Structure 1
Amino acid sequence: MDAITILDAPRCHLGEGPCYDPRTGIAWWVDILERRLFEAPLAGGPARIHDLPLMASAVVAVDEDRHLLAAKDGLYLRTFGDGGLTRFCPLEAENAGTRSNDGRVHPSGALWISTMGRDAEPGRGAIYHVAGTRVTRLFGGLTIPNAICFAPDGATGYFADTDAGRLKRVALDPRTGLPVGEPATHYDHRGGEGGLDGAVVDAEGRIWCARWGAACLDAYSPDGERLRTLPLPVSRPSCPTFAGPGLDHLLVTSAYEGMTTEERAADPEHGRTLVVPVGVRGLLEPAFALRS
């Protein structure tokens, strides 16, 4: 198997929300805390850095001219040509104490996006379903909502509260991405090293989850069994997405948020963005549908 590649880009204080564009071979991701958007050729070469006027947590495909950024007070359309930002719809815009966090597009074209307290205050997090500009609150009382992803047929959704340590699954209407049942525990990670962070599903329905603080990615079966653990050269991986011509690599962001000087010294690649060969084929993230 090929070796892990480290993209030619600055370290991220809190790297998140990666997105891959197969038309251009470009990887996109954000540094939430430093308000930066990165654009880097997956095949090699230096990244371009775009300063943002607000904290953004996820990059979502829309069309050939625009993508969507999940930000502290709403979802914003960003044009590639001039970098212009237009708020598409608000998201907890009235709550200055929260920000957006993890997100993923359902096969229907609807977006699941989470929010959390600025200082990860217990219970302030929530997960929303966004269809066009219609925003529906799905789950509340969470602390750090993460691991949002969907089965290939769109009939099952997954998510986690990193603070609670359990990967959840919930039955969905595949036409809309809305829940049709109550969440149940898919995998109980309580007591394990690190915390469940961002996740993505491959073509066979396996869930690949970054484990914050444990320097690894875990693969879980659709039946809830942990199948495989891949070590990473960063201690705080945050979110993966499938990338590359064969969609057989994972683009993985990481962070150095909260690390001491000694911890950074022990983790020389902290905050780097990785391209990780996984030997399985993934799925291209669906584009967000601007109209429901």
Structure 2
Amino acid sequence: MVDFNVLNAMRCRLGEGPVWVESSGELWWMDIHRGSFHRQVWPGGPVATHKLSERSTLVVPCADGSAITSVQKGLCRVPESGPVGPPVVVIEPDTPQTSVNDGKVGPDGRLYFDSLDRAERPGLCGLYRLDDDLVARPLLTGVTLGNGLDWSPDGSVMYFVDSRRQQVYAMDFDPGAGTVASRRVLAEVDPDDGMPDGMTVDEAGNLWVALYGGARLHHYAPDGRLLDVVPTPVRYPTSCGFAGPGLATLVVTTAFAHLEDAGEPISDIDGAVLTAAAGVAGRRPVLCRTPLPLNPSKE
């Protein structure tokens, strides 16, 4: 049994992307619908909020001390204050309703990210790698709703979620080239259990997948066996990660957007960041090796 606690008083309409920043001892996460980046010194410091855009979905720290975030059509450097400008790295310019979604730094130090179609048309999106020349190169096409991603502890396998297909994939990963091969379905989630969303891999190599709308996490072995179903005290968990000393604390971001939009009751913890001792630690996060320049409008 995993017992969850609420980390702070912050409530996100659509919380996402928890990131542990070891150098500052901070937890970072996003509120996508408010385009806001939150950071908190672990575990009890005040929450600092930076409004970035109308829709920002990810934030990752870079090796030079800067950070990268997203706007709908690409990637930006996080400015010291104020909103981001137009994207420095543009993706999918010919499909105006698609948007950057989830992203994470790979074992090679490059940023990998995916996209979704806000009109939910099938197969228009992809999975991308940000290279050192600041070009985003596609690794996969035909994606409908790209979501959680992570790697095995040895870096040889990349995991990836296409939420609308209800599937978690495993792919062979070449950390030198930053390429994937041999995509296969690792797990298929019954829609009655929720929609697979954000995910993380622990130090033992097992996957934790948040099931949006299902009030649970699925805990999978690397071969796709379902090890455990972990109930959450909210209906809409969105993503998960590990934080704190020794990366010993499981962190789950959540949302209340669907409840609010449907006129359903919202509890006092919907949208909260949840924490728990899960009996296993996470893996040390990697800093992005490819910082972005500031958009000229922010200099």
Q: Same fold (TM over 0.5)?
A: yes
* Partner of residue 167, structure 1: 168
Matched, 1:202 2:165: no
* Partner of residue 128, structure 1: 128
Shift of 1:65: 2.7
* Partner of residue 116, structure 1: 116
Aligned counterparts of 2:124 and 2:277: Cα–Cα separation in 1: 36
Aligned counterparts of 2:119 and 2:9: Cα–Cα separation in 1: 27
Q: Deviations over 1:152-206 (max 9, x none)?
A: 1111111121111121111111323311x23111112235410111111111111
Amino acid at match of 2:143: L
Q: Deviations over 1:42-62 (max 9, x none)?
A: 211431221123421111120
Shift of 1:222: 0.9
* Partner of residue 257, structure 2: 257
* Partner of residue 48, structure 1: 48
In terms of mean alpha carbon deviation, does 82-91 or 244-253 score higher? Answer: 82-91
Shift of 1:116: 0.9
Aligned counterparts of 1:94 and 1:204: Cα–Cα separation in 2: 41
Aligned counterparts of 1:149 and 1:73: Cα–Cα separation in 2: 22
* Partner of residue 11, structure 2: 11
- Structure 2 counterparts to residues 234-245 of structure 1, below 5 A: 234-245=234-245
* Partner of residue 295, structure 2: none
Aligned counterparts of 1:135 and 1:215: Cα–Cα separation in 2: 34
Q: Deviations over 1:84-110 (max 9, x none)?
A: 747442223454312111112110012
Contact 1:239 1:252 in 2 (8 A): yes
- Structure 2 counterparts to residues 224-243 of structure 1, below 5 A: 224-243=224-243
CA RMSD of aligned residues (A): 2.3
Say if 1:177 and 1:207 are closer, same or farther in 2 by CA, change over 3 A.
Answer: farther
- Structure 2 counterparts to residues 1-292 of structure 1, below 5 A: 3-63=3-63, 65-79=65-79, 81-82=80-81, 85=84, 87-93=87-93, 95-132=95-132, 133-179=134-180, 181-260=181-260, 264-265=264-265, 267-290=267-290
- What secondary structure is seen at the aligned counterpart in 2 of 1:282? coil
Aligned counterparts of 1:183 and 1:191: Cα–Cα separation in 2: 22
Amino acid at match of 1:53: S
Say if 1:258 and 1:124 are closer, same or farther in 2 by CA, change over 3 A.
Answer: farther
Shift of 1:4: 2.4
Contact 2:35 2:57 in 1 (8 A): no
Say if 1:5 and 1:24 are closer, same or farther in 2 by CA, change over 3 A.
Answer: farther
Amino acid at match of 2:237: P
Amino acid at match of 2:163: T
Shift of 1:27: 1.1
Say if 1:264 and 1:5 are closer, same or farther in 2 by CA, change over 3 A.
Answer: farther
Contact 1:235 1:267 in 2 (8 A): no
Contact 1:166 1:190 in 2 (8 A): no
- Counting helix residues as a fraction of each chain, which structure ranks higher? 2
Contact 1:7 1:273 in 2 (8 A): yes
Aligned counterparts of 2:110 and 2:208: Cα–Cα separation in 1: 21
Question: Identity of aligned pairs, percent?
Answer: 30
- Any unmatched runs of 5+ in structure 1? none
Shift of 1:82: 4.1
Say if 1:184 and 1:274 are closer, same or farther in 2 by CA, change over 3 A.
Answer: same
Aligned counterparts of 1:64 and 1:234: Cα–Cα separation in 2: 37
Contact 1:240 1:251 in 2 (8 A): yes
- What secondary structure is seen at the aligned counterpart in 2 of 1:56? coil
TM-score for both structures, normalised by structure 1 = 0.90
Higher relative contact order (Cα pairs below 8 Å, separated by 6+ residues): 2
- What secondary structure is seen at the aligned counterpart in 2 of 1:139? strand
Q: Deviations over 1:233-290 (max 9, x none)?
A: 2211111121110101122211122225777526442111122221101112211111
Alignment length (residue pairs): 289
Aligned counterparts of 1:128 and 1:53: Cα–Cα separation in 2: 22
- What secondary structure is seen at the aligned counterpart in 1 of 2:196? strand
TM-score for both structures, normalised by structure 2 = 0.88
